Structures are given as C-alpha cells and as structure tokens.
Amino acid sequence: MPILRNEIGDVLRDARLLQGKTLRDISSGARVSLGYLSEVERGQKEASSELLSSICDALDVPMSAILREVSDRFETAESLENVAVMPSIPDTVPELLSSMRAR
C-alpha cells in the first residue's frame, strides 16, 4: 500500500515539472523554504493542509485536482493488490490431470 505523504509529494513534483517550474519558483510562491518543499516532494515531510494549499496556489492547480490524482493512485494500488500474482495450483494430481484434459 502506498504512503500518503509519498504520493502527495510525487503528484506535487509531477505538477511542478509539467509546468517547467523549479523548486525555487514554487517555494517563493508558496512562501516555504526550498529545503522543506524538497522534503515534501520526496515524501520525507507531511504537508499540513495550509501548506498544501499554499503549494497548490503557487502551482496554480486546485487542491482538489492534486488530491484527486493522489486518490486515483491509491485506487490503482488497491486494485493491483487484489490481482492474483500466481494461478492457483491444484492440491492433488487428479485435479491437475482434469484441468489438463479440459484444455
């Protein structure tokens, strides 16, 4: 399962890079230190709702869009957890043989 602060950081970084902006651009617009913003993007620090709002304003992206993208990533991760990695293996030889004949 993903970690919320990592996903938020990844989405914020993706939004910033998509706009071709630097950490310095966003940190000055959001009035947060460059180092702290970097830690938020790397998932090392959790952004408060107020800080997240300031970063979103500096990115000129609605917070709902950022949170929606994070939510979509969690939904994808949850659906992947429910996918069987390996097919079930029959417990007995007769089951194995019957499944082979059915092919």
Give residue limits of the domains in the chain. Answer: 4-81
- Report CA-CA distances (Å) from 58 to 25, 51, 55, 64: 8, 11, 5, 14
Asked if the model's pLDDT at residue 88 lies above 90, the reply is no
Eight-state DSSP code of residue 56: H
- Residue 80 pLDDT class (50, 70, 90 cuts): confident
Structural contact between residues 52 and 32, judged by C-beta atoms closer than 8 angstroms: no
What tens digit of pLDDT does each residue of 27-60 get?
999 999 999 999 999 999 999 999 999 999 999 9
Ordered DSSP codes for 83-95: S-SS----SSHHH
Q: What gap in Å lies between CA 58 and CA 15, rounded to an integer?
A: 11
Asked if the model's pLDDT at residue 81 lies above 80, the reply is no
Among the listed ranges 56-60, 65-69, 96-100, which one has the minimum average pLDDT value? 96-100
Q: Architecture of domain 4-81 in CATH?
A: Orthogonal Bundle (1.10)
Structural contact between residues 30 and 55, judged by C-beta atoms closer than 8 angstroms: yes
